[in-house]
Amino acid sequence: MKIVIMGCGRVGARLAGLLDIEGHSVNILDIDAYSFRRLPPDFGGTALVGNGTDEESLKKAGIEEADVFVALTQGDNRNVMAAQIAKHIFDVPKVVCRIYDPMRRELYNSLEIEAFSPTTIFAQMLKEKLEK
Amino acid sequence: MYIIIIGGGKVGYYLARALLDEGHEVLVVEKDPERNEFISGELGSVSLRGDGCEVATLTEVGTGRADMFIAVTGDDEDNLVACQVAKHKFNVPRTIARISNPKNEAIFKKLGIDVTISSTNIILEYIEQEVPTHPLTHLLDIRDKGLEIVEVKIPPKSTTVGKRVKELSLPPGSVLSLIIRKQQKPHVPTANTILQAEDQIIAVTSPESEEALRTTLRGS
């Protein structure tokens, strides 16, 4: 699969590494080239400096041929905007984004954007651990 | 009308002031406590500290009964999300977003924002109008119809000087609406109107035909 990831933080870099090992073609975007230090040393994909809410940068990252787009920057709104551009402008078949704010996540899920809230997931997981 | 403004920067503040003067009920949502204090000091208690993209904040300010929702922060993505929350969660009838990147205009439209205002484009258009040698100036967009009103000046040595309007091969959908000449009243051109040097022509066209219209009128 052709995968575009926006945001090369800890999660983004790790996901990129995992998908790359599986043999997928991975392009990862970040506005700061310094973030790419987090990528594994044997990363075979492409790292590009660019803003994922900008159409031109997304095109350079190969969004037009992508099967999957994942938005993982620190900003909920940036992720939501990029995900909607990928889905509605470039018709990427699978779009996933991270939204920390649980209520905002709920809203965008209802707008057919597949979103995960680490806040909800992690809190739930901790609660289950503690109650064991 | 009850109008909610997201972002209490310069744009948000002056907008709130103007709308209050017109007698509207206005509320500004702003994250920064200092800006909040400033706005409250200047305009009375019309500002609330909070994140305008958060459902909780928007519930608190009664977004459900707002007639208009205007997001004017400096970040395009924040304005987009704030307007989408207002629209989809609170059914606000009219949402307006300020955008800085002119490319986002089409994207915002597609994502359901009613009106976008690109400050960059507005400034650019005014500058175009002030530059006298500019071959074609945008005066107004009629967006729903895909039309625009433009101004073209006929250069003194153009091959179109002395030609009748009917002799020009205007691109389809383009209409010459008005001719402005020095020391004359503006008049509506007919098929037999002869073009003169320095004529200012106001025309209706479509974005696709703009280039062809410019070439036809300016000649060579």
Out of A53, A55, A104, whose CB is closest to B53? A104
Nearest partner of A27 among A65, A56, A55, A54, judged by Cα:
A65
Q: Residue B2 and residue B14: Cα distance in Å, rounded?
A: 17
Cβ-Cβ contacts under 8 Å, B104 against chain A = 53
Span B21-65, pLDDT tens digits = 999 999 999 999 999 999 999 999 999 999 999 999 999 999 999
Residue B103, pLDDT score: 87
Nearest partner of A13 among A59, A49, A56, A47, judged by Cα:
A47
Nearest chain B alpha carbon to A55: B103
B54 belongs to a structural domain: yes
Same domain, B12 and B77: yes
Containing structural domain, residue B211: 133-218
> Which whole number is the average pLDDT over B55-77?
95
How many structural domains is chain A composed of? 1
B153 belongs to a structural domain: yes
The residue ranges of DSSP E strands in B9-77, in sequence order, are: 25-30, 47-49, 68-71
pLDDT: is B183 or B132 the higher one?
B183
Span A60-80, pLDDT tens digits = 999 999 999 999 999 999 999
> Which whole number is the average pLDDT over A87-98?
95
Q: What was the ipTM of the complex prediction?
A: 0.85
Span A31-40, pLDDT tens digits = 999 999 999 9
Pick the last residue of a domain from B122, B149, B170.
Answer: B122
Min Cα distance B86 → chain A (Å) is 11
Span B106-156, pLDDT tens digits = 899 889 899 999 888 888 878 877 776 667 888 888 877 889 999 888 888
Same domain, B13 and B98: yes
Same domain, B96 and B169: no
CB B200 within 8 A of CB B179: yes
Pick the last residue of a domain from B87, B122, B157.
Answer: B122
CB B49 within 8 A of CB B42: no
> Which CATH number do you get for residue A18?
3.40.50.720
Residue A129, pLDDT score: 94
Nearest chain A alpha carbon to B101: A54
Cβ-Cβ contacts under 8 Å, B54 against chain A = 101, 103-104
Go through A49-59 and write b for each residue having 16 or more CB atoms within 10 A of its CB, e for each that does not.
ebbbbbbebbe
| Any A CB within 8 A of B84 CB | yes
> Which CATH number do you get for residue B213?
3.30.70.1450
Nearest chain A alpha carbon to B82: A77
SS3 track for B146-192? CEEEEEEECCCCCCCCCCEHHHCCCCCCCEEEEEECCCCCCECCCCC
Out of A81, A104, A107, whose CB is closest to B77? A81
Containing structural domain, residue A21: 2-131
